[in-house]
Amino acid sequence: MKQANSNKKVLVVGAGLVGSLEACYLAKRGYDVHLYEYRDDIRNMEHVPGRSINLAMSIRGRTGLKAVGVEEKIIREHGIPMYARMIHNRDGSTKAIPYNKDGKCIYSVGRRFVNEVLLTRAEEFPNVTIHFHHKLLSADLERGKVTFLDTMSQDEVTVDADLTIGCDGAYSNMRKQMMKRPMFNYRQQYIPHGYMELCIPPASDGNFQMPANYLHIWPRGQYMMIALPNQDKSWTVTLFMPFEIFNSLDTPELLLDFFKTNYPDAISLIGKEKLIHDFFANKALPMISVKCSPYHVGSTSLLMGDAAHAMVPFYGQGMNCMRDLVNSRLFLLRKKWDDLLSRLLPRTWVPLYTMVTFSRERYHLCIAKKRWQDEMIGKLVKVSAVAGIVLGFFAAKTQAAHAFSHSLVTHLNSITAKTLNVAMR
Ligand SMILES: Cc1cc2nc3c(=O)[nH]c(=O)nc-3n(C[C@H](O)[C@H](O)[C@H](O)COP(=O)(O)OP(=O)(O)OC[C@H]3O[C@@H](n4cnc5c(N)ncnc54)[C@H](O)[C@@H]3O)c2cc1C
């Protein structure tokens, strides 16, 4: 098979996380792989502009890395395990909520480091050629002719290929080429929230300022802040809030007041001066979700990664958290139900978060199973409510049992109401 594939030329457009990994997969199968990247080689760059410094990585990402032989290097040598969310309340108190009853974890990894390791791995294959400074301009998708701008020489270069794979991110140009075709569906949506990265530096003794093996979260309803640990003992802090709030904080005084009200403990962790400096030196960035179909044109071109499907990073494979829900009593109550039922029925009842983050179950099956669980919980609650009422009726017949029945019915009714609410989310 490898022999047969060696005659086939595959272009991968975009050497980000997905493109550089995909190049390794194709190389293993023997294709003649050409990886085209708009930017310079990030391994030579002092500062890489762009989004999120670190990523939360779960078993799905790790499986991809393992298949090309770099999981060990990235996770064991570089990843920082995070076993729980650490919730920071307004009064400065904290509370840990483990991700999983079996002590499984996700890892904080540096985006740049992962990308660099993957580029180096891709280069180790003799059948991979990487072309930096090449920006995709246009593509004749059916005939497999792709035109790039060589940003160094400013020349246009047209390349023939058997297959072109667009891994050029959420604002993909390859996808734009597909959009020119009939029957191609596309939807993009910006959410009203933006994000800004700040930093908690290491303590003066060089250690972490907060317990390291957690994803720290400051959930505050409409907005939230999270922090992921870095190898150098600093934390990358990401502030999420509506753009209108970002824009309203236009003086150092307003910014500090906002932090004093919402994130008082973070002021000393980040440092007052640094907070003011970084906030006004940075710009809040937008978050987009993208859906399209189909993902391919015949057998000549294909979209992968964010180019095919970008999502806002709050749950799925993004930040592994749900804004303010982690602070909600209903979320915690549902989590208790999930923990109980998964202990009783470990094979049948796998909580949604566990399915998404600690398994490779296909996403559409995760959603279908969660719907089934919601239905079951709804039924369970109804049955216990009826049982409570019947019990209450008989118990109320005797004077002695009256007090007991009253408290039982109240308790069951309250659980019923709460759980029905949760099941509806
Ligand atoms: C704030 C934030 C936090 C996130 N946190 C997480 C997280 O914790 N865990 C997680 O799993 N995911 C996270 N994500 C999502 C994750 O970043 C993306 O899913 C991932 O980067 C997609 O990789 P990609 O290779 O498809 O695209 P990208 O990483 O965007 O790479 C695209 C590449 O294509 C190149 N390119 C673009 N246009 C062209 C062109 N015309 N010609 C040639 N090359 C081009 C770009 O220079 C780039 O190198 C987060 C996203 C955001 C915004």
The predicted-structure confidence for 145-163, as pLDDT tens digits, reads as follows 999 999 999 999 999 999 9
In this predicted structure, what is the pLDDT of residue 395?
A: 74
**Contact (Cβ atoms closer than 8 angstroms) between residue 307 and residue 169:** yes
* CA nearest ligand 1 atom 38, residue: 168
For the record, the structure tokens of 242 come out as: 């509506």
Quick one: pLDDT band at residue 410, thresholds 50, 70, 90?
A: low
Ligand 1 atom with the shortest distance to the CA of 58: 11
Tokens of 423: 């099941």
**Residues in a beta bridge with 36:** 13, 131
Task: With beta carbons less than 8 A apart as the criterion, state whether 51 and 194 touch.
Answer: no
pTM equals: 0.84
> Is the shortest distance between the CB of 194 and ligand 1 below 6 Å?
no
Indicate the top mutation candidate among 51, 165, 196, 226 to test ligand 1's pocket, ranked by most ligand atoms within 8 A of CB.
51
What pLDDT is recorded for position 374?
Answer: 87
Judged against a pLDDT cut of 80, whether residue 414 lies above it is answered with no
Q: What angle do CA 99, 100, 102 make, to 5 degrees?
A: 145
Q: pLDDT-based confidence at 250, cuts 50/70/90?
A: very high
Q: How far apart are the first and last CA of the chain?
A: 48
By alpha-carbon position, which residue is closest to atom 19 of ligand 1? 306
CA of 18 to the centre of ligand 1 (A): 8
pLDDT over threshold 80, residue 93: yes
Task: Look up residue 226 and give its DSSP letter.
Answer: E
Q: How much distance in Å is there from the Cα of 93 to the middle of ligand 1?
A: 35
pLDDT of residue 404 exceeding 80: no
User: With a 6 A CB cut-off, is 109 part of the ligand 1 pocket?
Assistant: no
| pLDDT score of 180 | 94
Q: Please, is 151 exposed, middle or buried when counting C-beta atoms within 10 Å of its C-beta (0-12, 13-18, 19+)? A: middle
Mean pLDDT across 175-196 = 95
pLDDT attached to residue 195: 94
Q: Is the CB of 240 under 6 A from ligand 1?
A: no
pLDDT at 368: 92
Give the model confidence (pLDDT) of 117-144 as tens digits: 999 999 999 999 999 999 999 999 999 9
Residue 378 region by backbone torsions, left for phi larger than 0, else alpha for psi between -120 and 50, else beta: alpha
- Average predicted confidence (pLDDT) for the chain: 88
* Contact (CB, 8 A) for 215 and 82: yes
Amino acid at position 342, single letter: S
Give residue 159's identity as a one-letter amino acid code. V
| Candidate from 28-37, 86-95, 114-123, 407-416 with smallest mean pLDDT | 407-416
Confirm or reject: Cβ of 52 under 6 Å from ligand 1.
Answer: yes
pLDDT at 126: 97
